[in-house]
Amino acid sequence: MKIKAINIFKFLTFLAVLVLALMVRKKSYAEIPIPGQSVDEYSYSWVGLSLIENGMPVGISGIDGYKNSLPMYVNVDRFFQTVSTGEPLTINYPWMDHPPLLGLITGGYAYLSGARVFEDTTSYIIRKPIIIIGTISVALLGIFCWINFGYFTGMLGGLLYATTPLVVLSSRMIQAENAIIPCLLACMIFMSLYIKKKDDYWLLAAALISGMATLFKLTGFVCHLFVLFALLGNYKKINKSFLNDFGFFLVVSLPISFLFVVYGLVYGLENFMNILFSNYNRFYGIGPNSLIELIRNQRLTQHKFLPEVSIISGWLVFLSLITKDVKNIGNKLAIFSVFAYLIVYIFFGSQPYGWYTFPFWPLLIILLSKFLSDGIVKGKNFVAVFFFSTMILGANISQIINVFAFQVYANWWRIGVAAIFFILVIMSILKLKSKLFYKILFLVMMAGIIYTNVQYLNNINIDFWWNNIS
Amino acid sequence: MLNRKKTLLIFGILYLVFVGVLFFGLRYRLKNKFSVEGLNKTISGKSVFRDTTTDLCKYQILGDPKEEGNYVKINIFCSNGKKAVSTVSLSAIEDKTVGGFMAEYARIAGFEMTLFSDQNFVCYLDGKLLTDEMMKDNIRPTSTIDCRENPNK
């Protein structure tokens, strides 16, 4: 009876996290990020809408290789009045930049909502499905952490991913990466279950979802790469079992990816190949400094930065973990995923658009959550946990109140943070442990981080966007 | 445990059926649904959700097209002191007459073209008074249209 009540409580709290995730994503979703700053959002939806309405995928591209190219002013959301460069959009058909699955979701939703022409696809309509997908990602991240690290890490991971401001803003954008994220997270869940339970159904599920990921964008191959690493990590050598598993995985996943070629054949093989090769020769705008930029600058679009300390902390935890022999399956899988996407990111890299980096963020939040929850529950690495928590909390506070307004609290911060660092360092030197002290301290700090995340998000309106986000 | 061979066989059959439906379904739709006119309507059709305005100075097109020498400037001055200043790329204008250009500008900004005459706007093309006959002439790239509201007309 007691166990049942605890399980119900856990389920309800998990549900509450998802409600919070949905609410923060939904607030001002049609205004922030400002519509038109990434015209890809419209393009994806137009591809789906035109496929349904005209039987032909039509979208914005601008890459070479298209026979049909129309410069047009389509003033949806009146973005030519707000964020336009003055350049007309280059509309191409048959649009083959990416597979059409995301377009069919957002464009299909727009069609069901009554949209029939491109100008109908306002952000108010087309962003609705993506915030649902974003909330599903929060659920999957929480489930992954719950399965591999326990309930508390699941909740902490879910809360951090639900409320981290940059993640929330990014998950409102119609970008294929936002659809690849839940596929990758689902794949991680299935592989962790496969490794633990050795049940082929989980491998089959991973194969189906990996194939589906590539129908959003070819970078969905990150799932294939991740499964390769996960199986190699499990068997530790290329033996018969590994070959059987990976072969089975590929026999299911690759034909699903091949559906993009079948789709391309309908509109002409030559056109399809031209665009594929034009895509391959794209300008390598992320440049040789892409790794430091990944850690240093978190971007939403090409030019919009919003440094996110939770993500930076995640990178630091990742770097510390790869110097160790990691035993925990969950941590191992998250590290494999980061490397899998890093390889995809470097290989496919073109312009330094922010959305190419979105799939790193849930993975880094997973690693950060495990690191922080180990500090809270077990008192592990408590000085570092306090350091990261203070860094995130402090950055959030500085976004909510400016340094002059903060002076009222300056002595509290000065004395409080310095004293806690002093105590923790002494405890670390003398190897003293007080689980109750860590628990209270870190739980208060986590509550502060989640609260300030939400407050910070509440402050982000159009004025804040223009004035504070470089 | 799953019987992998049996699973792959079922998957293979379902896959082939799906591929067939996808390929022939898409081809059928392309053949029966696609037309250039229909596509143009989808691309440039007016939205039922978008507000149309009677204030010609309310909206403008920001920025400047990159392509040099292939644009037209249109400046609208309203009697209340407001103005709308836009530069429109001619590459995006299908009907390259003066009238065609103004109709396309009205579509982009979201107002009825008849409002120019209904609200007594007097327009000048490169300083010359724009007459009804001139509306049929091809528009010269880099030219400027100035429209001024004249409440006393």
Show residues of chain B in contact with A75, CB under 8 Å: 50, 108-110
CB A53 within 8 A of CB A111: yes
Q: Write out residues 267-286 of A within 8 Å (CB-CB) of B.
A: 267
- What radius of gyration do chain B's Cα atoms show? 25
pLDDT (tens digit, 0 to 9) for every residue of chain B, 153 residues total?
788 999 999 999 999 999 999 999 999 999 999 999 999 999 999 888 887 788 889 888 988 888 888 999 999 999 888 999 999 999 999 899 999 999 999 999 888 888 888 888 899 999 999 888 888 999 999 999 999 987 565
Indicate whether A470 pLDDT > 70.
no
Which two three-digit tokens encode residue A403?
């340094």
Chain B contact for A247 (CB, 8 A cutoff)? no
Measured between alpha carbons, how far is A72 from A40 in angstroms, rounded to an integer? 15
Task: Please report the pLDDT score of residue B153 as a whole number.
Answer: 53
Count of all residues that appear for chain A in the document: 470
Measured between alpha carbons, how far is A423 from A386 in angstroms, rounded to an integer? 11
Determine whether the interchain pair A88/B65 forms a contact, defined as Cβ–Cβ distance below 8 Å: yes
Select the more confidently predicted residue: A463 or A357.
A357
In chain B, which residue's Cα lies nearest the Cα of A247? Answer: B4
Average pLDDT over residues A382-398: 95
Q: What pTM was computed for the model? A: 0.93
User: First CA to last CA across chain B, in angstroms?
Assistant: 87
Does the CA dihedral B146-B149-B152-B153 come out positive or negative? Answer: positive
Show residues of chain A in contact with B26, CB under 8 Å: 55, 263, 266
Task: Please report the pLDDT score of residue A469 as a whole number.
Answer: 66
Determine whether the interchain pair A120/B108 forms a contact, defined as Cβ–Cβ distance below 8 Å: no
In chain A, which residue's Cα lies nearest the Cα of B60? Answer: A81
Determine whether the interchain pair B2/A200 forms a contact, defined as Cβ–Cβ distance below 8 Å: yes
Measured between alpha carbons, how far is A367 from A315 in angstroms, rounded to an integer? 9
Count of all residues that appear for chain B in the document: 153
Which amino acid, one-letter code, is at A447? Answer: A
Measured between alpha carbons, how far is A310 from A327 in angstroms, rounded to an integer? 24
Residue entry with tokens 């649902």: A132
Measured between alpha carbons, how far is B42 from A46 in angstroms, rounded to an integer? 9
Show residues of chain B in contact with A265, CB under 8 Å: 23
Determine whether the interchain pair A248/B4 forms a contact, defined as Cβ–Cβ distance below 8 Å: yes
Which residue among B39, B48, B64 places its CB closest to the CB of A120?
Answer: B48
Chain B contact for A123 (CB, 8 A cutoff)? no
Which two three-digit tokens encode residue A125?
């309509």
Measured between alpha carbons, how far is B91 from B6 in angstroms, rounded to an integer? 58
CB-CB neighbours of B4 under 10 Å: 17
Measured between alpha carbons, how far is A306 from A450 in angstroms, rounded to an integer? 18
Average pLDDT over residues A229-242: 95
Which residue among B19, B64, B108 places its CB closest to the CB of A80?
Answer: B108
- SS3 for B61-116 is CCCCCCCCCCEEEEEEECCCCCEEEEEEEHHHCCCCEHHHHHHHHHHHHCCCCCHH
Average pLDDT over residues A305-313: 88
What one-character-per-residue DSSP string does A267-282 give? Answer: T-HHHHHHHHHHHHT-
pLDDT > 70: percent of chain A: 99
In chain A, which residue's Cα lies nearest the Cα of B29? Answer: A55
Task: Please report the pLDDT score of residue A266 as a whole number.
Answer: 95
Show residues of chain A in contact with B21, CB under 8 Å: none
Determine whether the interchain pair A72/B11 forms a contact, defined as Cβ–Cβ distance below 8 Å: no
Per-residue pLDDT reduced to its tens digit, A422-431:
999 999 999 8
In chain A, which residue's Cα lies nearest the Cα of B59? Answer: A81
Which two three-digit tokens encode residue A195?
């490794």
Determine whether the interchain pair A251/B8 forms a contact, defined as Cβ–Cβ distance below 8 Å: yes
Measured between alpha carbons, how far is A160 from A70 in angstroms, rounded to an integer? 43
Chain B contact for A255 (CB, 8 A cutoff)? yes
| CB contact set of B110 (below 8 Å; sequence gap of 6+) | A75, A78, B46, B50, B51, B52, B53, B59
Which two three-digit tokens encode residue A339?
């490397």
Measured between alpha carbons, how far is A242 from A231 in angstroms, rounded to an integer? 6
Which residue among A88, A116, A244 places its CB closest to the CB of B91?
Answer: A88
Indicate whether A83 pLDDT > 80.
yes
Measured between alpha carbons, how far is A339 from A336 in angstroms, rounded to an integer? 5
Per-residue pLDDT reduced to its tens digit, A32-55:
899 998 899 999 999 999 999 999
Per-residue pLDDT reduced to its tens digit, A102-152:
999 999 999 999 999 999 999 999 999 999 999 999 999 999 999 999 999
Q: Which among A34, A47, A73 is the top mutation candidate for probing chain B, defined by the most B β-carbons within 10 Å of its own β-carbon?
A: A73
The CA distances from residue B117 to A170, B24, B56, B124, B132, in Å, are: 46, 52, 12, 13, 11
What one-character-per-residue DSSP string does A153-165 give? Answer: HHHHHHHHHHH-H
